[in-house]
Amino acid sequence: ITCGLIFILGVVLPLGLCKGKSYENYKVYQVTPDKDEDLAVLIPWTEKENVDFWDTSSQPRIMVSPEEQANFEEFLQLKNLPYSVVIDNVQITIDRERAEQDARKAARGVSPRHVTEDFDHFWSYTEINTYVRRMATENPQYVTLMNLGETFEGREVLGLRITAPGNDAQRPIIYIDATIHAREWIAPMVAVYLIHELAEHTADHLSVLENVVWIIQPIVNPDGYEFTYAEDGDRFWRKTRTINENSACLGVDANRNYDHYWANGQSAGECTLTYAGTAPFSVAESRIVRDVVLTNVDRMKLYISLHSYGSLFMYPFSSHSNVMPENFRFQHEAGDVFAKGVFSVNQTPYQVGNGAGILGVSSGTSKDWTYSGPGIPLSYTLELPRGGSGGFDPPPSAIEGVVSETFVGLRDIAGFVIEKYYPISANSEAKATPDNAH
């Protein structure tokens, strides 16, 4: 019996014993249209429960259940949309990832190695929280633990505030969050590596510690993240684990739950992957991010939400294809700094642009809200690289390469923030605000 819910006298109850979601014989298709406009015919497929758009770029990758594959292929042929099968059996990809995870953990033996050698597997919620707490305990001059709240299922949401000792009252704030989408395992690894560099190698990064306050939240959606790891879970679970009233389908896409054109043009179906919830900020996960932003809004200059995948660095807006932020040139300039920093390490290319233009329209996203609501001048979604073999995340063996190159990009864009918002001179407290960067 698979996991499910039933209603008895209006009460939601679990249905039987649960086993993990199987993706046996699920396929991933890549659609390669001649023109971007041709993709519009795929929109109805985004509402189907057995069809999962891994990305919505100009050449989207789409996971389809065995039951839908014949219909999907017939549709693509009818619409003359070129396609290829990039993964023939998704479960094999999952099993390979799990096996590599297990092998790397076993190789470390009973006593795990120090974290500086430990970016060879994806970390669990418990591992991440343990590390976050340890960094605050071991580095109290630089690191402060932030207990940000609890999720629907009662898990604590932790973050760290990292900055050099001294008066930081004028330092600009950079807020990095990750894992609002549970299945995006590479995202928290980037956040943890950022913590690792800033907290454990302070002497190497004094400029971005003495002139910036970092707020880093590795897991926005702990309930969903834990469910992707659980034996009775689902590796590709995306949403929160919130119970939806009068529905057997769980969860809200917390990155559609922000108060910027909330639910505009999107399905209200609780069973869809992008269900936006009953109202803006209806789930704890988005409210926690909101509260961090609003508490620090006076000095917050840069917000980045870490996702996967696509190698994209996107500023607003995602809500409308023909609307750009007033300071889009400034945001693009900062994005180029990030992209050049990443490229300098492993020559990984990133595309910089507005969200709707390079990934497609989506409303209620965090970066659109942080820019248009509180007015954070540099607001981004960072889509990290996908797996080299076409999988959703890079294999465990590739984690260190991704996190280390991304760190350089984040360090460099922090330097951009310092240059624009906190220039230092020997006897001056003057702070500059760049043109058109409200």
Q: Contact at 8 Å (CB) between 337 and 420? A: no
Q: Is 378 exposed, middle or buried (0-12, 13-18, 19+ CB in 10 A)?
A: buried
Q: Under a CB-based contact definition with an 8 Å cutoff, are residues 57 and 360 in contact?
A: yes
* Count of C-beta atoms within a 10 Å radius of residue 55: 19
Residue 383 annotated as catalytic: yes
Give the span between the Cα atoms of 42 and 29, in whole angstroms. 13
Looking up tokens 């559609």, which residue turns up?
Answer: 256
What are the CA-CA distances from residue 186 to residues 44, 91, 183, 227, 395 (Å)? Answer: 29, 19, 9, 16, 9
Tokens linked to 192: 């943890």
Catalytic residue among 184, 226, 383, 405: 383
Q: Using the structure block, give the residue that is written with the tokens 């509180």.
A: 374
Tell which residue, 108, 133, 130, 131, has the closest CA to residue 120.
Answer: 108
Cα–Cα separations (whole angstroms), residue 258 to 8, 326, 327, 362: 32, 20, 21, 11
Distance CA 195, CA 131 (A): 9
> Given the DSSP bridges, would you call strands 51-53 and 143-150 parallel, antiparallel or unpaired?
unpaired
CB 364 within 8 A of CB 427: no
State the catalytic residues: 383
